[in-house]
Amino acid sequence: MKSFFIGNIEIKTPVIQGGMGVGISLSGLASAVANEGGVGVISCAGLGLLYPKGKGTYPEKCINGLKEEIRKARAKTKGIIGVNVMVALSNYADMVRTAIEEKIDVVFSGAGLPLDLPSYLTPESTTKLVPIVSSSRAAKIICDKWQKNYNYLPDAIVVEGPKAGGHLGFKKEQLQDQHYALEALIPEVVMIASSYKEQKQIPVIAAGGISTGEDIAHFMELGAAGVQMGSIFVTTQECDASETFKEVYIHSKSEDVLIIESPVGMPGRAIDGEFIHNVNSGLERPKSCSFHCIKTCDYTKSPYCIIKALYNAAKGNMKKGYAFAGSNAFLAEKISSVKEVMSTLEREFFLATHKLA
């Protein structure tokens, strides 16, 4: 697989590990992917829950948790480490500032348009900025706003299609519409990115439902410089989630992967289970909220507390949570090492590109 650059950083293996929260992709998984030449990504979501013994308020615990995870990752790898910061997070600004102060290599930001992301850079910052979009329109808006307001263009753009896990930037009826398929989106965003090539090379990264080396080859043929993959790394030894969480993936069937309504106000893709059934029966309504983690969430109207549900699942309490997952998560058969996953992808990519598959 051919390397590519995000700014002046060479990504030797063109695989970005998707940020998965709460507590699925932390320093353990991120450093393992970075050691294999990809970009390992720490999710910022809910870090205050993962570091409950820290001093201060929930937002302060999130800041300390992010610092700790970045430092742990740095101790385990000399590779490329990024963080994923959702625009929808109430502490979005805190998380971006903290990541840049800690000299993170890349900030990935989606779940909303990160229109002010370059404003957090300081003159000495080396951090690269990569928005996550689900349309060419969003890519164009971000590029133009950043250029006009900050004289800055994205260092890369991740295009997340409708087969991704977790929150999706599409309406429910668009998820099966071929006009919104990743195959349709990639060439459109590549065209937008190439319109700025006089000022900057902006690589486009394909994401959502990518699960094999053959998929990687396919999207590279469509113009992508690399791919982002999440679900394939959940069932690795190094993934930071509990073994119980990983087993949910391994024992799932294709019909178990479904679209749910999230308190965030977006559709989401998750694996069916007892908690989702209880939500549908109205049994998980929150009585209060001490986190205020998502800007758009009103707990009085929310069917459940999403941060607690995702935290519980990551810790293995599937009766009180659920697993977000990409459309092909059910393909997982066993727990492997990150090294084994990357080797398999390399082999499949080679076969696909040499027409031997």
- What pLDDT digit, counting tens, does each position of 1-11 carry? 999 999 999 99
pLDDT at 292: 73
Q: Is 355 a member of any domain?
A: no
Is 205 in the same domain as 345?
A: yes
Q: Mean pLDDT, to the nearest integer, of 77-81?
A: 98
Q: How many domains are there within the chain?
A: 2
Neighbours of 356 (CB within 10 A): 7
Report the range of poorest mean pLDDT among 133-147, 165-179, 289-303: 289-303
The whole-angstrom separation of Cα 177 and Cα 163 is 11
Is 255 in the same domain as 210?
A: no
Secondary element (H or E) of residue 132: strand 128-133
The whole-angstrom separation of Cα 295 and Cα 285 is 18
Q: Per residue in 89-118, pLDDT tens?
A: 889 999 999 999 999 999 999 999 999 999
Q: How far is CA 239 from CA 12, 30, 274, in A?
A: 21, 8, 23
Give the pairing of strands 80-84 and 106-109.
parallel
pLDDT at 232: 98
Assign 25 a pLDDT band (cuts: 50, 70, 90): very high
Is 108 in the same domain as 248?
A: no
Please determine, for residue 280, whether its predicted confidence score (pLDDT) is greater than 60: yes
Q: How far is CA 347 from CA 105, 224, 230, 290, in A?
A: 28, 19, 19, 48
Which residues contact residue 332 at a Cβ distance below 8 angstroms, ignoring those fewer than 6 apart? 231, 232, 234, 235, 249, 250, 252
Total-model pTM:
0.96
Is 215 in the same domain as 246?
A: no
Q: Is 204 a member of any domain?
A: yes
pLDDT at 297: 67
pLDDT at 356: 53
The whole-angstrom separation of Cα 292 and Cα 59 is 9
Q: Is 303 a member of any domain?
A: yes
Upper half-sphere CA count for residue 143 (Cβ side, 13 Å):
26
Residue 110, token pair as written in the block:
């989606």
Residues 92, 63 contacting (CB under 8 angstroms): no
Is 130 in the same domain as 16?
A: yes
pLDDT at 51: 92
Q: What share of the chain has pLDDT > 90, as a percent?
A: 87
Beta bridge partners of 313: none
Is 199 in the same domain as 297?
A: no
Phi, psi of 331 (to 5 degrees): -75, -15
Q: How far is CA 116 from CA 14, 146, 192, in A?
A: 27, 7, 20
Residues 25, 34 contacting (CB under 8 angstroms): no
Residue of 36, 309, 27, 297 whose CA lies nearest to 166: 309
Assign 351 a pLDDT band (cuts: 50, 70, 90): very high
| pLDDT top residue among 164 and 292 | 164
Q: Per residue in 27-37, pLDDT tens?
A: 999 999 999 99
Please determine, for residue 186, whether its predicted confidence score (pLDDT) is greater than 80: yes
Is 137 in the same domain as 268?
A: no
Q: Is 177 a member of any domain?
A: yes
Angle between helix 213-221 and 338-353 (nearest 10): 50
The whole-angstrom separation of Cα 257 and Cα 196 is 38
Residue of 68, 64, 45 whose CA lies nearest to 55: 64
Q: Is 288 a member of any domain?
A: yes
Residue of 31, 30, 29, 33 whose CA lies nearest to 12: 33
Assign 258 a pLDDT band (cuts: 50, 70, 90): very high
Is 183 in the same domain as 295?
A: no
Is 27 in the same domain as 102?
A: yes
**What DSSP designation does 19 have?**
P
Instruction: Mark 287-317 as b/e (b = at least 16 C-beta within 10 Å).
Output: eebebebbbebebeebbbbbbbbbbbbbbbb
Residues 203, 4 contacting (CB under 8 angstroms): yes
Residues 77, 53 contacting (CB under 8 angstroms): no
Q: Is 72 a member of any domain?
A: yes
Residues 132, 110 contacting (CB under 8 angstroms): yes
| pLDDT top residue among 186 and 287 | 186
Assign 133 a pLDDT band (cuts: 50, 70, 90): very high
Mean confidence (pLDDT) of the chain = 95
Q: Is 357 a member of any domain?
A: no
Assign 343 a pLDDT band (cuts: 50, 70, 90): very high
Give the pairing of strands 106-109 and 15-17.
unpaired
pLDDT at 53: 85
Assign 72 a pLDDT band (cuts: 50, 70, 90): very high
Is 157 in the same domain as 210?
A: yes
Is 144 in the same domain as 221?
A: yes
Question: Cis (ω within 30 of 0) for the bond into 22?
Answer: yes
Please determine, for residue 157, whether its predicted confidence score (pLDDT) is greater than 80: yes
Residues 157, 133 contacting (CB under 8 angstroms): yes
pLDDT at 159: 98
Which amino acid does the sequence have at 292? H
Domain encompassing residue 145: 2-239+330-350
Q: Mean pLDDT, to the nearest integer, of 108-134?
A: 97
Residue 53's domain is classified under what CATH number?
Answer: 3.20.20.70
Is 166 in the same domain as 265?
A: no
Q: Is 132 a member of any domain?
A: yes
